[in-house]
Amino acid sequence: MNAIETEGLTRYYGDLCAVDNLNLSVDNEIFALLGPNGSGKTTTVLMLTTLLAPTKGRASVCGYDVRREGEKVRRALSYVPQDMAVDIKLTGRENVRFFADLYGVPHAADRVDEALAVMELTDRADDLIRTYSGGMRRRLELAQALVHEPSVLFLDEPTIGLDVAARKRIWEHIRSLRRKGMTVFVTTHYMDEADQFCDRVGIISQGRIAALGTPAELKTRLMKDVITARVEGPFTPPELEGTAFVGRNGDEVSFTAANGRLALPLLADALKNNGCVVRSMALREPTLDDVFLQAVGRQEEPQGFAFDKFRIMLRRRK
């Protein structure tokens, strides 16, 4: 029995199908569920953590059915949400002890000390949380999640809002948990983190798994060079043999090409002939971002959003 199993897992909100017949197996690995906003990531996690009932299908965590054995499921897992889950009026030790008492952890004081030590917070354990940095607060949330020694850990955007150094440190701790045999289920928008730190990746789009495999496998399947271009003016994807339009993000458009070096100048001419002003072009090997764009397809841009003006504003703030 895998740590996480789903079979035909489905959830409707009225007439909207948020998760559509999801079949997934996760065990003793760091697994990342990626997808655009509204793709079904959060709904999937809420069902697996018993916070939301499936409309149909089944799911189990550590062999316990999420519908019929909710209490056993909750004792087997921990869930660290995206939003801060610590009380800033308490000390670090008091926050972790609160969770230990909720779970009825025996020898709670010792377990609290161990969890704080694992997250390298022993020296600051008796300081108020309001004095902690963002990275320290995230590590404290992990200490809270680990105090009852769960078998499965769910992390929702574990490094959002943190600087590069803090993000790396959090992932070092997550990987150490994986080495100790814990199954870690992560949702993240940071493709570089999923590529570097996760054993497998599932990309969900419109409630269905669109791609599944190791980061290396997914990039290998693309088997094409990637050409990106920054353009201005009206844009229509040109029809050019040997290339395929992947998607657009603001003024950046992406294509795949069987032979990037040959296609790049031809694509530049085709874009100009379609009325675009080409500001720059680049050729590179595929990344997980490219796999993601190919799997989820082109996402509609917000109406009336001025990407060019937004970028100018960001440059002025530097």
Considering the domain architecture, whether residues 198 and 229 belong to the same structural domain is answered as no
Q: What is the pLDDT of residue 310?
A: 45
Mean local confidence (pLDDT), 18-43:
94
Residues 41-65 have pLDDT tens digits of 999 999 999 999 999 999 999 999 9
Predicted local distance difference test score (pLDDT) of residue 206: 92
pLDDT, tens digit (0-9, with 9 covering 90-100), for 119-142:
999 999 999 999 999 999 999 999
Residue where one domain finishes, among candidates 213, 231, 256: 213
Q: Which of 184, 213, 242 is the last residue of a domain?
A: 213
Q: Which two tokens stand for residue 104?
A: 């009825």
Dist. CA 268–CA 280, nearest whole Å: 9
- Record the tokens describing residue 264, joined without a space: 């790049």
Residues 83 and 177 in one domain: yes
Give how far Cα 225 sits from Cα of 123, 255, 285, Å.
49, 8, 5
Mean pLDDT confidence for 89-98: 96
Both tokens of residue 27?
Answer: 């065990």
Residues 263 and 203 in one domain: no
Question: 245 and 173, same structural domain?
Answer: no
Closest listed residue to residue 229, CA positions, set 253, 249, 246 = 253
Q: What is the mean pLDDT of the chain?
A: 89
Question: Which residue in 137, 196, 193 sits closest to 145, CA to CA?
Answer: 137
The answer on 245 and 103 residing in a single domain is no
Query: Are both 149 and 11 inside the same structural domain?
Result: yes
For position 167, which CATH number holds?
A: 3.40.50.300
At 298 the pLDDT is 52
- Parent domain of 157: 4-213
Q: pTM score, two decimals?
A: 0.78
Whether 118 and 203 share a structural domain: yes
145 and 39 in a single domain? The answer is: yes
Please tell me the total count of domains within the chain.
2
Residue 317 CA to residue 48 CA, distance in Å, equals 41
Short-list 248, 292, 266, CA closest to 257: 266
Q: Which of 179, 213, 247 is the last residue of a domain?
A: 213
For range 15-43, the mean pLDDT: 94
Mean pLDDT, range 83-112, rounded to an integer = 93
| pLDDT at res. 296 | 84
Does residue 305 sit in the same domain as residue 173?
no
165 lies in the same domain as 233: no
User: 221 pLDDT exceeds 50?
Assistant: yes
